[in-house]
């Protein structure tokens, strides 16, 4: 993919140069991120800093490459069809019992985790929506219904929040188009009703609840593993997600995994308060073991915005936001990126290539206001 992107950009040198000049803050941010990560690499000799820089290069290459495709009608139509087929494959695999469950009953398909699957589904629906020029026809009805179902079976709280944001924005966009508004609401009601009627998941795939080799030491003996697997196999996606939300404790004295403070500490949010010296120029994105975590778990910061601020400082955050703002031809279209922003509040999503693909389509799409007035 990287080679293909680089080749396409080289074949369109003049257009690529024009884009880089027009969106200079994207180049400034990239150069700044590479510099900061290289400085910390020389200090700690940890390759994660260099890998982080490569991820930024890869993401921006994907973004720039797809800018050349956004106005190609044939490619867009094919892309939209392939997205719907992809949704179908995921749903068929789910009901057939194929795919992974890192945290039963949250479905992974063949992604690294359920959050990645939910984010992929959301980003690809945004692409499909832009290709259809936001007109909620039967193609978009199908894509939205399947996207919503896939997000639900992942059980991702960040994805759920993003879908709520998408729902509110869609109601606003279709507020003057009664037929499209009715079709959109019908799509939501159809999937929510279906998921409430059936206690998902319908099948019992206890052997896929955990990757047994990876979790064997944590789960203990084989008999204990089987007991845990059997108990988890009876869980449903709605009950589990509801418990994960309602069981959160706001008590400052609670040190369990359900405590909000424990979650904030483990996921890196409190670094912004505990290590304010990094908020100006950044700490570099790598070697998170430098910072206090929760027990033996020290995660990468689980927020796109908090990560930008902490890893690259206020300068890095401002460079990125300026790039984001300037790249939109119609500023009103930024509203449709709200689901991506909501997801990014609590889960890091800037490394995903599908985020950059969705962003490329959003930034070159026709004005939402003009479409609503048609």
Using a CB cutoff of 8 Å and minimum separation of 24, what contacts does 74-77 make?
Answer: 76/131, 77/131
At 124, is the pLDDT very low, low, confident or very high (cuts 50, 70, 90)? very high
Q: Pick the more confident residue, 208 or 307.
A: 307
The pLDDT of residue 69:
81
Question: Higher pLDDT residue, 185 or 98?
Answer: 185
The pLDDT of residue 346 is: 87
Give 103 or 202, the one with higher predicted confidence.
Answer: 103
- Top-confidence residue, 138 or 18: 138
- Using 50, 70 and 90 to split pLDDT, how confident is the model at 103? confident
- pLDDT number for residue 144: 96
Residue 237's nearest CA partner among 164, 163, 157 is 157
pLDDT recorded at residue 254:
58
User: Assign residue 135 a region: left if phi > 0, alpha if psi is -120 to 50, beta otherwise?
Assistant: beta
Question: What gap in Å lies between CA 272 and CA 285, rounded to an integer?
Answer: 14
Cα–Cα separations (whole angstroms), residue 25 to 287, 323, 326, 356, 366 = 27, 5, 8, 16, 23
Better-predicted residue by pLDDT, 130 or 299: 130
Place of tokens 């009953």: 105
* Predicted local confidence at residue 285, as pLDDT: 95
Highest mean pLDDT among 56-65, 81-90, 202-211, 290-299: 81-90
CA atoms within 13 A on the CB side of 13: 1
Cβ-based neighbour number of residue 13 at 10 Å: 9
The CA distance from 168 to 162, in Å, is: 10
Please check the confidence at residue 206 and state whether its pLDDT lies above 60: no
Average pLDDT (76-105) is 90
pLDDT band at residue 291 using 50, 70 and 90 as cut-offs: confident
| Rounded alpha-carbon distances, angstroms, from residue 347 to 71, 162, 172, 223 | 31, 11, 26, 35
pLDDT in tens, 242-281: 777 776 666 656 565 566 666 677 677 888 888 999 999 9
Q: Kindly give, in sequence order, each residue whose CB lies less than 8 Å from that of residue 298, ignoring residues fewer than 6 positions away.
A: 266, 268, 288, 289, 291, 292
């Amino acid at each position: 993919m990287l080679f293909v992107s680089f080749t396409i950009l080289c074949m369109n040198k003049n257009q690529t140069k024009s884009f880089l000049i027009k969106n200079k803050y994207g180049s400034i941010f990239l150069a700044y991120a590479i510099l900061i990560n290289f400085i910390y690499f020389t200090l700690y000799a940890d390759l994660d800093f260099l890998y982080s820089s490569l991820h930024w290069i890869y993401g921006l290459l994907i973004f720039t490459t797809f800018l050349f495709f956004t106005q190609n009608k044939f490619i867009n139509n094919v892309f939209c069809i392939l997205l719907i087929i992809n949704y179908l494959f995921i749903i068929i695999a789910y009901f057939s019992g194929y795919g992974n469950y890192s945290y039963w009953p949250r479905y992974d398909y063949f992604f690294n985790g359920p959050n990645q699957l939910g984010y992929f589904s959301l980003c690809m629906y945004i692409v499909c929506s832009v290709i259809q020029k936001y007109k909620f026809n039967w193609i978009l009805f199908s894509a939205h219904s399947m996207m919503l179902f896939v997000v639900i079976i992942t059980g991702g709280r960040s994805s759920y929040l993003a879908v709520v944001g998408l729902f509110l924005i869609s109601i606003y966009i279709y507020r003057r188009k009664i037929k499209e508004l009715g079709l959109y609401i019908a799509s939501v009601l159809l999937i929510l009703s279906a998921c409430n009627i059936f206690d998902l998941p319908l099948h019992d795939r206890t052997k896929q609840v955990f990757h047994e080799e990876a979790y064997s030491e944590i789960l203990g003996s084989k008999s204990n593993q089987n007991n845990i697997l059997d108990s988890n196999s009876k869980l449903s996606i709605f009950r589990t997600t509801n418990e994960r939300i309602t069981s959160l404790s706001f008590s400052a004295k609670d040190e369990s995994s359900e405590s909000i403070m424990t979650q904030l500490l483990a996921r890196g949010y409190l670094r912004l308060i505990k290590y304010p010296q990094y908020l100006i120029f950044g700490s570099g994105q790598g070697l998170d073991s430098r910072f206090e975590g929760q027990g033996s778990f020290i995660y990468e910061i689980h927020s796109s915005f908090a990560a930008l601020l902490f890893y690259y400082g206020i300068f890095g955050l401002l460079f990125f936001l300026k790039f984001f703002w300037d790249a939109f031809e119609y500023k009103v279209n930024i509203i449709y990126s709200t689901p991506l922003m909501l997801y990014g509040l609590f889960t890091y999503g800037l490394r995903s290539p599908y985020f950059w693909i969705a962003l490329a389509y959003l930034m070159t799409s026709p004005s939402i206001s003009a479409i609503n007035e048609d």
